[in-house]
Amino acid sequence: MRRLATAVMRIARTLVTAMLAGAALAGVPVGSAALASDRPLRIVAFGDSLTAGYGLPADAAFPAKLAQALAAKGIATEIANAGVSGDTTSGGLARLDWSIPDGTEAVILELGANDALRGVDPKLARSALETMLERLKTRHIPVLLAGMLAPRNMGPDYGAAFDAIYPDLAKKYGAILYPFFLDGVAADPKLNQRDGLHPTAAGVDVIVAKILPAVERLAAAAKAARTP
């Protein structure tokens, strides 16, 4: 029996060696490098009610719809919904560290809409966003910064100061910039809920379609940063 077991083990080892050799000859990566390349990207969508999916079922919220769109492109992801309704940039800063767990490979940062609606000093919003970007950069986590525009009724001076925050910080910290998260959706009654502020499921579809190329760039950056 011992001789038979030993012979079986030798045959098994030989087969495994042959399979690995064949894979190498065929150019197929093996071992930890292949596992690292194949596992889903771990992304955190970090924002306010626009990320959380206010008024929508969980499967119609932005992170869920985005994961579906990426999957259709052949990009496997696990996107955590870290959106909190009513959150401001200061609120986001206060919860950043525990909301972005170890192992996160990319972040979509979508905050600022509530600051603008409440007339928060643009300097405060800028400072909070900058600190978040600094911390994420220190952790070597690539970021897609989703921009926001101030309501025009806040006046030209406020609008100019607020709107400039996102391109300025994206350039300074090397983040991927998506200039306006609600592009194609804002002020369209057909794509917004009754409050006129939060997108419907159809509105989320528009957001996802427009932001998708930028997220693909984020995914590529995250994959490039992976270590075997």
Distances (CA, A) of 33 to 19, 99, 221: 17, 28, 17
Identify whether 99 is a catalytic site residue: no
Among 48, 115, 163, 198, the one annotated catalytic:
198
Task: Write down the H helix ranges in the chain.
Answer: 2-25, 32-38, 49-52, 62-72, 89-99, 113-118, 122-138, 156-163, 165-173, 201-224
Two tokens, residue 97: 């560290």
Give me the catalytic one of 48, 49, 87, 115: 49
Report the candidate in 151, 173, 148, 178 with the shortest Cα–Cα distance to residue 163.
Answer: 148
Q: Is 198 a catalytic residue?
A: yes
- Our answer to whether residue 140 is catalytic in this structure is no
- Residues with a catalytic annotation lie at 49, 195, 198
